[in-house]
Structure 1
């Protein structure tokens, strides 16, 4: 071998490494999701794989009235299955206990979204984590901050029956009296109604339930170390190959995938950092004790601000929700009447929105809603409040605004929307109704007149703005 060949030989070994690096993360992701020939043959042999879920664990997963698997876990499982080349079919069950029984007796081969525990590991195989979410202690507002459950001996904790958290709390904190409930909602309701001192639930589930049920006398009182949900897919029957196929799909998931799915249901960003300092044990030194107390107070304050924000936010668009709209409108009406100032409300509705969902599917409908939400948010003034009432209906509250200004603002948004492209091959239009506050009028009466004006715009042919007579 010549000197030149000797010199080039090491570089030949490095060329594949350089090329692999240049191909980037996309190629790595594709390779992670690509099954081996043996795995593909195994998937073909399995055919349709039946899976079981918790039919009532919103927003993580639930089964809707039409028997469809919905929620964060449902969308993540569907994405994993598609990338892994698996065909899944939902096995109906009555509740979570029935799903566990179905996995044990062979009615289903997969469980979709659950924590790994020692008891479950004795009969199930688990994938790598699909999703992580911290568990937080939820109490009533007047309860002190929780830094150590051992200090709360004798207090009651409401927990849904059959969950991994029940198993862990019984093991780690036997001095806590556990009260079992049938559902997540019931556990939160018991705390709100003083029938239990606390519950320990996922941050996302807590935010969703408090918002849905209006349990605003509750707060996040603490977070326990080592109690973060690491939610996985479980395989029954000892099928290691099926577990490996699923793991290939899990490996392709990105943070963008997860964030996009979460934001369809709850407007929240889950922090993945361990934040070890949050629950450090209180040291003997006074300075150390003050430092830990300060960290606890800061984190509780931050988490409760986030929870309060979630209760006012529409999960899909990021705009404020109906509850926040109603509260702000009451405030603005009272101010306008007291100070004898103008106030306008613009109500907007996407035309033929049901046809978008029917013709192109709900993901396309979500694109239209989020796009319109961004348009409104970018179009209003700093003093205005834009929000989503629900469905395809949006509202803008315009302080110190007369009818002509409000109609002009609505028309600018309407014309801009008409020119937006959503990949549907046809334009999407909106109709708008405008009403201006009358002397002595209530907030709900003002909103109702804006709704009547919107109906007038729809009746007149859509894609236009109508103002209610002042």
Structure 2
């Protein structure tokens, strides 16, 4: 069976009649169908966690096109929907064969699968492609996969397609398509096959730059399209009939909304999320009708995000953004102050607040909460006095002193990345800017909005933003984990707010307000006579002077704009090659360094070596401590590696929990010694949450005639040897 999570988004409108049904309208069911719904109130649907944006798991709930479509269809018929999440597609197949789930999504009708599945009418059409490495001129169609290594998960129908056409290939078994793409990129496989936008999504999110697609899988005679179906458990024919009835009754409005929401951006269409988001299920509608208002805990001393006015009214950027939600929700939000994050969580847990607006997921109680997508995301920035040039990294000024806003998540990140940073904690941006203005500290670190607001409020002219800290503040709405309907309604409310409205709120709070008045009647009484006399004698000189001033001002503005543009370009260039989480180079930059190092080695004979490091059993860390905990481990590992390597060595994140160190002028023996040093440093470190973590490392050095793929492939092979030999060890490949 083949996964078809993405389809080239060609809706089969010719196969499906269109009728105008809305969420709240029920389908007309026969007596037999109504009896089935009564006896099967909940339908269990498989959810694959790793196929965003078509079927995935994020923010504590299943999401994606397939998820939303089947939920819409089943809800119309009066069913409750229970999603059963799986890490691998084969787990979904086993569960439906064992009767533990009722429906699979996005499957291809085949004779083999018909033995245990009933197939719905088709609802999407998928365009198939072959993915290979750029520059591989040996693959022009599936016939060229003869003798090649093809990466695919078990159970994919593409395997049978190839075998039925007598293509004799080697099957590299992987858990999911992301692993398949990674295998092709790393040279462990020659190709893989899937629907185009599935592959394009993986390539874009992972930053691969050396892959390309073949669009004629078997030449002109093969159209490269499959129809997508829902697969229903074999002993549930009435459920299959009901799904088909709901598909036929799907309105054009509903079809277009889903189509644009999940496929519009992939097809290059301009899509406003507000046009596709606001559709409540019947249960969600009932929930909204049952509430007279929603109580929201806020922090009254978090200016300019939230604060308390002298009149005792809550105000701030977040208050205004939350006010936008009522445009669709029509449900008043009542704000309640909490002294700090901990108290807000306590009030939330005790039921004294329905929601809390807080920094996302940074406390011990995160497991008890469910979070919306960020309502607001702000970068932490570095402010300094106006004479300071642009700072691309805090490492450049690590020996200076800094005022830092009292934010535990930010402080933890700074301490991990810059353990020797001299920090003076402050409770407000006003306090931090004053310390900076008076020269008591070199810089001040806070969110961009807080810094800008404090500068404007104090009317400080000798302070400016000169850099960015390696962390962003994400503010979201938190609810108790069991408040599923509340979370869903608030998320849809946030999605439905137009971007222009959000920008309007931000612009309002970023604008400079001037309240200086002039008594013009006094000016006229005193200066009228003098003005008349001076006008005749000074008109010409004033005209010249004004012209000169305008010219000087225009030149100064141009110079300032050029300087700002240069700084922004420098920052953009840095961000484009930097891993957002850890602050080290990303894969794009590592590929550049590898290519440059190879060219230098070929030209001058200089040695260089490569180390690939992979954290052992890292999935257990994420499963045990959550992705936030896993992220903190990754940041700590980068800090350890940075302390152990030479200044000339290049450290970057290769992908996931894998890192690469490129060692200029390094031979195999020296790189192996360094790898042992890195392994030992990680093994001995006590991570704050996760305790002990180990790593496996593979090492290779440049040999004449090597390409980048060959060199990296040897290091990758050595890494897998280290894994197979027990982990927490170093293996090297001499050539």
Is 2:149 the partner of 1:156?
yes
Q: Which segment drifts farther, 162-171 or 357-366? A: 357-366
1:205 to 198, 202, 225: 198
Alignment of 1:19-98 (within 5 A): 26=19, 33-64=27-58, 66=60, 68-98=61-91
Residue 433 of structure 1: how far off its partner (Å): 7.9
2:120, 2:254 → 1: CA distance? 18
Q: Radius of gyration: which is bigger?
A: 2
Is 2:173 the partner of 1:180?
yes
Structure 1 stretches lacking a partner, 5+ long: 1-23, 271-308, 319-346, 377-391, 393-413, 419-427, 449-470
TM-score, normalised on structure 2?
A: 0.37
Is 2:207 the partner of 1:214?
yes
1:105 to 64, 74, 98: 98
The size of the alignment, in residue pairs, is: 305
Residue deviations 1:268-327, cap 9 Å, x none?
567xxxxxxxxxxxxxxxxxxxxxxxxxxxxxxxxxxxxxx69xx999599xxxxxxxxx
1:107, 1:56 → 2: CA distance? 20
2:251, 2:169 → 1: CA distance? 38
Question: What SS does the aligned partner of 2:48 have?
Answer: coil
Alignment of 1:319-334 (within 5 A): none
Alignment of 1:1-20 (within 5 A): none
Aligned to 2:468: none
Aligned to 1:171: 164
Residue 262 of structure 1: how far off its partner (Å): 4.5
Distance 1:173 1:106, change over 3 A: same
2:230 to 229, 233, 243: 233
Aligned to 1:361: 490
Residue 157 of structure 1: how far off its partner (Å): 1.9
Aligned to 1:260: 257
Distance 1:258 1:188, change over 3 A: farther
Question: What SS does the aligned partner of 2:215 have?
Answer: strand
TM-score, normalised on structure 1?
A: 0.55
Contact 2:45 2:84 (8 Å CA) reproduced: yes
Contact 2:274 2:496 (8 Å CA) reproduced: no
Question: What SS does the aligned partner of 2:244 have?
Answer: helix
Distance 1:445 1:206, change over 3 A: closer
2:567 to 432, 441, 451: 441
Residue 97 of structure 1: how far off its partner (Å): 1.5
2:31, 2:175 → 1: CA distance? 44
Question: What SS does the aligned partner of 1:38 have?
Answer: helix
Structure 2 stretches lacking a partner, 5+ long: 1-16, 276-447, 451-473, 479-485, 513-559, 575-735
Question: What SS does the aligned partner of 2:101 have?
Answer: coil
Residue deviations 1:192-211, cap 9 Å, x none?
12222221111121111011
Contact 2:43 2:82 (8 Å CA) reproduced: yes
Residue deviations 1:177-204, cap 9 Å, x none?
3322112111111111222222111112
CA RMSD between the two structures:
4.1
Contact 1:138 1:222 (8 Å CA) reproduced: no
Residue 360 of structure 1: how far off its partner (Å): 4.5
Contact 2:45 2:83 (8 Å CA) reproduced: yes
Contact 2:20 2:252 (8 Å CA) reproduced: no
2:573, 2:140 → 1: CA distance? 46
Residue 56 of structure 1: how far off its partner (Å): 2.2
Residue 144 of structure 1: how far off its partner (Å): 3.6
1:317, 1:127 → 2: CA distance? 31
Residue 213 of structure 1: how far off its partner (Å): 0.4
Distance 1:25 1:118, change over 3 A: closer
2:158, 2:187 → 1: CA distance? 21
Which has the larger helix fraction? 1
Is 2:246 the partner of 1:249?
yes
Alignment of 1:390-469 (within 5 A): 417=504, 431-432=509-510, 436=561, 438=563, 441=567, 443=569, 445=571
